[in-house]
Amino acid sequence: MTQLADKIGHYLILEKIAHGGMAEIYKSRTADPNGIERLVVIKRILPHISSHPEYIEMFVNEAKLAVHFTHGNIAQVYDLGRTGDDYFIVMEYVDGKTFGQIIRDFKDRAEMLPLDIVLFCIAEICRGLDYIHRKTDSQGRELKVVHRDISPQNIILSYSGNVKIIDFGVAKSLDRIIQTESGVLKGKFAYMSPEQADGGAIDRRSDIFSAGILLWEFLTLKRLFKRNTNPETVKAVKAARIEPPSRYRAGVSKELDRIVTRALQKKRGKRYEFASQMADDLDRLLHIVNPNFKPSLVTKFLYGYFGPEADEEGLPPEFPEMTVSKIKKVRTLSDEIEEDILEEITNEERTEKERLKSIRKKLFENVSFGFFDHLSLWFKIPLILGVLFILFSSFFMGVSWFSRGYLKITVSPPKSRVYINEKPLMSTQKNLGFYELSLFSGETITLRVELTGYDTYETALVLAHREKREMMVHLDKAINPP
């Protein structure tokens, strides 16, 4: 196991708790000049990413944006730092459970979440969203921030009864263009709004749609849009066909169906205009469902189901914290992708190994038997040496005459044109913008995605031996289209 550095800046590293596609997450401790200690979380950009200015800029923009948020439903960002070539963000540490963990746990128990807890949690999310949507700069101008990644992994319910939104890594202020990884689709497919999945312009109502997905899934413990593949999921999101949650759960009132349906309207003009409106509707319904509800019931709920894990650090319940080992992962877009394709990759890897083993076996059999007996010594010697070289390079040098990498690309808008080494690709699934191809490893490949009226995305990449890589490319609309 790799030994952790003792410190990042003046923050003492306690343990590594997550490793995503762009950054590492550490549980850390710091102390003020008076010796008062507190736990924090450090999000450090990965060393091999640091050489790419666009990633650095996205990382810095996340911190610059989030550091201005001070709200009870937003995990606080304290600091942006740099040590050498390492950039890092220091965040509030929240002791609790992600929505993703809670949903999985209740599915395993075959129990439904208490209705009043669901209403309270989603209302709190909406309050946090309303805060960031209405946030202004020092001149009083609206920043028009959109989170763009409201998903179960980015919402934490703390043991002190607070609901916290985390990870503004893909948030965007619509008043300015952030020149960062402009071609990469930002957000998790199953929690996007139709306009986000379609590559169109988005505003605060996109986050409201995502909150509606969370409400539907918290009520039913089912996945609303998740399908077997990313393209199928995107297609389902764009279609936005919704069945009311009352179909899947007894006791869901017509009023609650109405709230869910309004948040999940395909046309954003029919959704709630502001997240606070959705929060108000949920609050009114909450006090009908449980007139005696109070936030302390959330603490009792979480302790009742997950209590033994709380306060392992010996801290008082009110101590502000962020995700630690209880939150098994602070997840990013790459984590969601890895989870979706892990089994597929494992099967492909096994198939590839078996294929190479079969090829080697057949080569050996062909050389050892049959026609081999009829060859003269002058033909046998170079043939044997050639076969031995192939086997040696395959087994011991990590090189294979059959060495290839595998690339999957999902593009948005789906009608975008895709080129590999200036050669156009044909989509493997009609009108879904999904491509699969096998390429020689070790070679530099140029990828270009373009569509009239949109900014072109272009990059160079090299696939390692047997590497399986998946890319999501999202084109932003051009400001001044030709």
Q: What is the DSSP string of 317-379?
A: TTS-----TTS-----HHHHHHHHHHHHHHHHHHHHHHHHHHHHHHHHHHHHSGGGGGS-HHH
Q: Residues with catalytic annotation?
A: 149
Q: For 450-481, how does the pLDDT look when each residue is reduced to its tens digit (9 = 90+)?
A: 988 888 888 877 777 777 787 878 787 776 55
Instruction: Indicate the length of the chain as a whole number.
Output: 482
Select from 284, 283, 192 the least CA-distant residue to 240: 192
Q: Residues 267, 238: contact at Cβ < 8 Å? A: no
**Range with the poorest average pLDDT among 182-186, 262-266, 300-304, 454-458:** 182-186
- C-alpha torsion sign, points 113, 116, 121, 122: positive
**Range with the poorest average pLDDT among 141-145, 240-244, 339-343, 478-482:** 339-343
Q: How confident is the model at residue 242 (pLDDT cuts 50, 70, 90)?
A: very high
Give residue 335's pLDDT: 41
Check whether 208 has a pLDDT greater than 60.
yes
Select from 121, 117, 120, 101 the least CA-distant residue to 109: 101
Check whether 331 has a pLDDT greater than 50.
no
CA atoms of 309 and 290, how far apart (whole Å)? 28
Could you tell me the two tokens for 59? Answer: 């990382």
Could you tell me the two tokens for 337? Answer: 């992708």
Percent of the chain with pLDDT over 70: 71
Percent of the chain with pLDDT over 90: 34
Q: Is the pTM of this model over 0.75?
A: no
Strands 23-31 and 37-45, sheet pairing: antiparallel
Could you tell me the two tokens for 240? Answer: 């936005």
Check whether 393 has a pLDDT greater than 50.
yes
Select from 259, 192, 179 the least CA-distant residue to 230: 192
Other Cβ atoms closer than 10 A to 471: 19
Angle at 163 between CA 172 and CA 237, to 5 degrees: 50
Angle at 341 between CA 346 and CA 421, to 5 degrees: 95
Average pLDDT, rounded, for the chain:
77
